[in-house]
Amino acid sequence: MISADSYSFAATLSLPLAQAEAAVRAALQKEKFGVISEIDIAAKLKEKLGIEHPPHVILGACNPALAHQALQENVDVALALPCNVVLREDSGKTIVTALLPSVALKPFEGLKVQESACTAEEALKRVFASLVGTSV
């Protein structure tokens, strides 16, 4: 089941992070999002602080057409790009979350910016629905 609060989508997958990440990447690709950046939080905490941390990854997802549309109207939208999709493993399951594009882009003026946010949000909703095997 997809859960959504006032600022994010969330889903829990009964998979370890590596398998969940493959499913997330495939679902994103189906909705024309590419992963343009990746931060392995656990690896960085180990490298920089010597701290053990459960598997935790941030994927920077971007739909180039939607990003371009929003940037054409307001170049400051780049401050909120890409969309972060966060995966963290807990007890053999992976919690997947993403900030709602309508929340991320709310401060930016422009009708096309807001249209892009709505379109991206609908696409991410389908991503999360496919991850949990439901339809929207």
- Mean pLDDT, consecutive 10-residue stretches, the chain (136 aa), reads 79 95 98 98 98 97 96 96 97 96 94 95 96 76
3-class state of residue 83 by DSSP: strand
Contact by Cβ (8 Å): 77, 55: no
Kindly give the residue spans of alpha helices, DSSP state H, lying in the chain.
Answer: 17-30, 41-49, 64-73, 101-104, 111-132
Q: How many angstroms from the chain centroid is the CA of residue 57?
A: 11
For residue 99, the model assigns a pLDDT of: 95
Q: What is the pTM of this model?
A: 0.92
Identify the CA nearest to 120 among candidates 77, 75, 88, 89. 77
For residue 5, the model assigns a pLDDT of: 74
Mention every residue, 6+ apart, whose C-beta is less than 8 A from residue 107. Answer: none
CA 62, CA 101: separation in Å to the nearest integer?
Answer: 11
For residue 68, the model assigns a pLDDT of: 96
Domains of the chain by range and CATH? 3-132 (3.30.310.70)
